[in-house]
Amino acid sequence: MDAGGRGEKGPMTFWNTRKILSHFGRAGLFLLVFAFVGSCTQPKEPKNPSALTEASIGEPKRLIPMMASDSASQDITGLLFNGLVKYDKTLRLVGDLAESFERTPDCRWATFHLRKGVSWHDGPEFTADDVLFTYQKVIDPKIVTPYSGNFETVEKVEKVDRYTVRVTYKEPFAPGLESWGMGMIPQHLLEGKDLNTDPFNRRPVGTGPFRFSEWVTGQKVVLKANPDAFEGKPEIEEYVYRLIPDTATQFLELKALNIDLMGLSPVQYRKQTDDRFFQTTFNKFNYPALSYTYMGYNLQDPKFSDKRVRQALTHAINKNAIIQGVLFGLGKPATGPYIPESWAFDPSVRDLDYDREKAKALLAEAGWSVGDDGLLKKGGKSFAFTLLTNQGNAERAKAAEIIQSDLKQIGIQVEIRILEWQTLLHQFIDK
């Protein structure tokens, strides 16, 4: 069980106002928040005006895009690699490594026209051969990737010429174009290699605006500006991704100007960043998060394979208490993985309301009854499970406590375990 979402950064963010910034996408909690606060007085001089230092509670795991399943790995690969397409600031798909693209009205065919003259960080040109190689690897059952399902409906991928690729689908697939936003990988460096174990995972070569420089395990990942980036060299010369596994410590480092950017917790945003120092040193933002926080179920456990049970747990959990008590109102219930601003959002999907009696009725329908000890029983076994979440995120820990309390009210025993980020990924999420 995981009481966590994809991102470790929330949509409440600080920028040091004296940094010269490129565009970085941020993702975080399931919040939907809208506001802006900018500084209007002279800030302090940053320690290194040409560098940007950011903090993360988690360390990257693998730096091959198709294998980057955790947020820390995605943060880094997103700066090192490019996909064929990307989302612009209005959440519209536009070309990235593809200069242009078109698809047929029935969504069965898509053609990508690649940019010419794009170089990998080690010099060779990016071509259609790299696209075909990336596709062949993502569908390879030997490769440990969570993204292969995005390509199951692909019938074939063809190289029309050096700079043109055509994709044929077996049937229409709504996320088809979006799936090609996955970072492309270099055939000339990885052909014949085992991607699961190759050192490329620790020293990657991409086409992106930054080049890999160093990775000091447990401390930091450093990237340098790519002078040959096809969209132009970034104004930030160096990007430092510091590993600080506690958000309170990150906040102290922010105040000491040792980091320039961090995602704020709700309490930090609401209560701890309105004094003169923060107003004159940082710009403070909040904005819609492109991700969500969720409680995920192990469907191999018979308890959770029953849809009625999952619905009952949803009815039993007071999400508004989490939003108001833990997130200080900086959020709203999610009805799916897409925010309302997304083209894929379905407004007809309604949230399951907080209703303890409905929860009890559904559990009874699924064969669960209350025993003498007050716990739900079925087949002589109590309804009990362990809820896992990651260390260093106080909001998730507090949310887990509310979930634990709510489910106890209907006879379900929940144990909370808080694990270090890599332990959570290696021992549970990736199993």
Cα–Cα nearest to 143, from 70, 68, 195? 195
Please name which of 71, 79, 52 lies closest in space to residue 262, comparing C-alpha atoms.
Answer: 52
Query: Which pTM value belongs to this model?
Result: 0.75
**Which tokens belong to 11?**
């949509």
Structural domains of the chain, with CATH: 9-71+205-286 (3.40.190.10), 85-190 (3.90.76.10), 295-429 (3.10.105.10)
Q: Encoding tokens for residue 195?
A: 């991607």
- Cα–Cα distance measured from residue 229 to residue 213, given in angstroms and rounded to the nearest whole number: 16
Assigned token pair, 396: 């998730």
Give whole-number Cα distances, 191 to 31, 82, 194, in Å. Answer: 41, 19, 9
Alpha-carbon distance of 345 to 398, in angstroms, equals 28
- Encode the chain (431 residues) as per-residue pLDDT tens digits: 443 333 344 444 444 432 322 222 222 223 333 332 223 334 556 566 789 999 998 899 999 999 998 889 999 999 999 999 999 988 889 999 999 999 998 889 999 999 999 999 999 999 999 999 999 999 999 999 999 999 999 999 999 999 999 999 999 988 899 999 999 999 999 999 999 999 999 999 999 999 999 999 999 999 999 999 999 999 999 999 999 988 889 999 999 999 998 888 888 999 999 899 988 888 888 887 777 888 999 999 999 999 999 999 999 999 999 999 999 998 888 888 888 878 788 999 999 999 999 999 999 999 999 999 999 999 999 999 999 998 878 889 999 999 999 999 999 999 999 988 778 777 776 65
Please report where in the chains the tokens 């309105």 appear, as a residue.
274
Distance of alpha carbon 371 from alpha carbon 324, whole angstroms: 33
In the three-class reduction of DSSP (H, G, I as helix; E, B as strand; rest coil), residue 22 is classed as coil
| Structure token pair of residue 297 | 């179920």
By the 10 Å C-beta count (0-12 exposed, 13-18 middle, 19+ buried), 346 is classed as: exposed
As a whole number of angstroms, the distance between CA 154 and CA 235 comes to: 39
Residue 274's DSSP bridge partners are: none
CB 236 within 8 A of CB 52: yes
